[in-house]
A and B are shown apart, each in its own frame.
Chain A
Amino acid sequence: NSKVIQTPRYLVKGQGQKAKMRCIPEKGHPVVFWYQQNKNNEFKFLINFQNQEVLQQIDMTEKRFSAECPSNSPCSLEIQSSEAGDSALYLCASSLSTVNNQAPLFGEGTRLSVL
């Protein structure tokens, strides 16, 4: 029933390959987040956007990922050169604002396996 749509659900890549995943936020939500959830259930914030602008990102994202949220197109997150340690569930979430009186709504995730 999630209204944040993530594709693909599963992604398998070899080391060194690019890995791209997409997210369509809930209609009317200008704020989009990407999180990485590893096999130990640990969450790592990667990046967030408000409309098309990056609000905040971690070093790893800046160095190894390419992310955008163009207007009228799905948001995307792409690993430029996949590593085994990138194997994880990538969750996209959207929200009405950065003021969290409305909880972010999460998609079902893209599960990436890097062989």
Chain B
Amino acid sequence: KQEVTQIPAALSVPEGENLVLNCSFTDSAIYNLQWFRQDPGKGLTSLLLIQSSQREQTSGRLNASLDKSSGRSTLYIAASQPGDSATYLCAVIGNTNAGKSTFGDGTTLTVKP
């Protein structure tokens, strides 16, 4: 059974700092990995999706990397802003079930002005 872990559970940084969020998974036979952002009381917003054949994806100040063999993904946020404050979740889809995502519990990020 796939298990997804996100550490730390919470992170507080000053504005402008670069930061890295971590996601690890136990079964390396994945189809893809997706990073989401969730604001309080809101739904999940897709940030980046990395296919299993890819090593990284970039969108603006965000860069997500994937190392399947070690079961790890990182989300790098450059020059953080107070508006980046949210909970960030990663989700993994395995090879055997095209629809079934396993989510981590998320990292709650606070960026202080």
Chain A complexes with chain B = no
Q: Which residues of A contact B (CB under 8 A)?
A: none
